[in-house]
Amino acid sequence: MAIRIAGIGTALPEKVVTNDDLAQHMDTSDTWIRERSGIGERRVGGTTSTMAIEAAQKALDAAGATPAEIGLVVLCTTTPDQTFPATSAAVCEALDLTCGAFDLNAVCAGFPYGFITAYGIMCAPGGPDKVLLIGSDAMSSIVDWTDRGTAILFGDGAGAVVMEKHEQGELLSFDLGVNGSLQSILYCDLGDTIKMEGREVFKRAVRAVTASVQAALDDAGISADEVDVVLPHQANIRIIDAMCKRIKIPMEKTYNVLEFTGNTSGASIPLAMARAQELGALEPGKIVLMTGFGAGMAWGTAVVRW
Ligand code: COA
């Protein structure tokens, strides 16, 4: 069975919040935020459902697919519009879909988890031919805008892909994991805001993402040299750089948007994917690595032949 990504769509709220904007009401600076994270600005506004719907519609258009062809909707989010129903139900309403649909919460590792899940369901007997996989997060709704340790990092956005059965495109390996003993270093209680031990998350994230990427590459029998495109979770450019140094993949192979979006959690990998596509990096046959990590601490990596 071969499955490819047939179309990519993105959605970002219009409102831009720059580092200088943040520095007006908290003790920080553009220079500090850029040096420590690589982030220059983020988008704020919109809800998880509105951004998801916009990105999904664009992905359908890019794939030349109609909503009626979609057999499953998977929405990766950690900021659902409500506790229930699942926000994917709002996507189905907007697109006039009645297929299976659910939300998936693996926080910043959501997109690889969603990709593997969707892939597995497509491969099951009678599995759908086309799936809408979306990452959408309104992180600004759970940020404490007075906490300089977290407010500088997060933003809102969505990215969606249409996955379809096709002779081109293949999952070569994956690695998923969670270390639940690290829940306390990054969490958000119901109705509350994000709490984070930044330095500890940084250290653990580098270790987790490096080990996950290495495990997935080993499992696929692919060397670091053979990787063409890396689509890393967009949390901090220094985490991406540290992972690349350890795996020995040049930074030039990574595609990043965090300078303009900040950390958009479940949306960050499809946003990076859209960037890679814009730059012409996603040619059929290329070896593409997606890797995410975040609260849990959860991680997920997928190695695909595009
Ligand atoms: N502006 C200016 N100074 C700040 C600041 C800010 N926004 N935030 C912290 N500082 C200060 C600290 O108080 C500290 O000062 P001190 O040395 O006088 O005590 C100094 O800067 C260094 O703080 P530290 O926390 O060690 O900085 P850091 O280099 O670890 O960078 C993060 C902080 C949050 C950017 C970084 O730890 C990080 O990105 N961690 C991972 C977070 C993440 O990715 N979370 C999501 C995972 S999905």
Whether 27 and 128 map to the same domain: the answer is yes
Whether 276 and 240 map to the same domain: the answer is yes
CATH at 216: 3.40.47.10
Global pTM? 0.97
Whether 146 and 191 map to the same domain: the answer is no
**Band of residue 1 on the pLDDT scale cut at 50, 70, 90:** confident
How many angstroms separate the alpha carbon of residue 199 from the centre of ligand 1?
6
Whether 45 and 96 map to the same domain: the answer is yes
Q: Could you give the 3-state DSSP secondary structure of residue 14?
A: coil
**Band of residue 236 on the pLDDT scale cut at 50, 70, 90:** very high
> Whole-angstrom Cα distance, residue 190 to residue 187?
10
Whether 13 and 155 map to the same domain: the answer is yes
- Provide the token pair at 228: 């063409």
How many angstroms separate the alpha carbon of residue 65 from the centre of ligand 1?
44
> Whole-angstrom Cα distance, residue 90 to residue 300?
26
Q: Could you give the 3-state DSSP secondary structure of residue 207?
A: helix
How many angstroms separate the alpha carbon of residue 276 from the centre of ligand 1?
29
Active-site annotation holder among 108, 188, 236, 244: 108
Whether 71 and 177 map to the same domain: the answer is no
Whether 130 and 157 map to the same domain: the answer is yes
Percent of the chain with pLDDT over 70: 100
Average pLDDT, rounded, for the chain: 98
CA 152 to ligand 1: nearest atom: 7
Cβ atoms 287, 221 nearer than 8 A: no
CA 295 to ligand 1: nearest atom: 48
User: Ligand 1 atom 10: the closest Cα is on which residue?
Assistant: 149
How many angstroms separate the alpha carbon of residue 200 from the centre of ligand 1?
10
pLDDT digits (tens, 9 = 90+) for 32-85: 999 999 999 999 999 999 999 999 999 999 999 999 999 999 999 999 999 999
Give me the domain span that covers residue 221. Answer: 170-305
pLDDT digits (tens, 9 = 90+) for 266-295: 999 999 999 999 999 999 999 999 999 999
- Cα–Cα nearest to 112, from 305, 301, 304: 301
Whether 143 and 226 map to the same domain: the answer is no
Whether 294 and 233 map to the same domain: the answer is yes
- 27, 193, 199, best to mutate for ligand 1 pocket (most atoms within 8 Å of CB): 199
**For ligand 1, which residues put their CB under 6 angstroms from it?**
28, 32, 36-37, 108, 148-149, 152-153, 196, 198-199, 201-202, 205, 235-236, 263, 294
Whether 264 and 120 map to the same domain: the answer is no
- Domain closes at, from 165, 196, 227: 165
Q: Give catalytic status of residue 105 as yes or no.
A: no
Cβ atoms 288, 306 nearer than 8 A: yes
pLDDT digits (tens, 9 = 90+) for 82-119: 999 999 999 999 999 999 999 999 999 999 999 999 99
Whether 70 and 17 map to the same domain: the answer is yes
> Whole-angstrom Cα distance, residue 13 to residue 48?
11
Number of structural domains in the chain: 2
Q: Give catalytic status of residue 166 as yes or no.
A: no
Average pLDDT, integer, range 210-224: 98
**Band of residue 265 on the pLDDT scale cut at 50, 70, 90:** very high
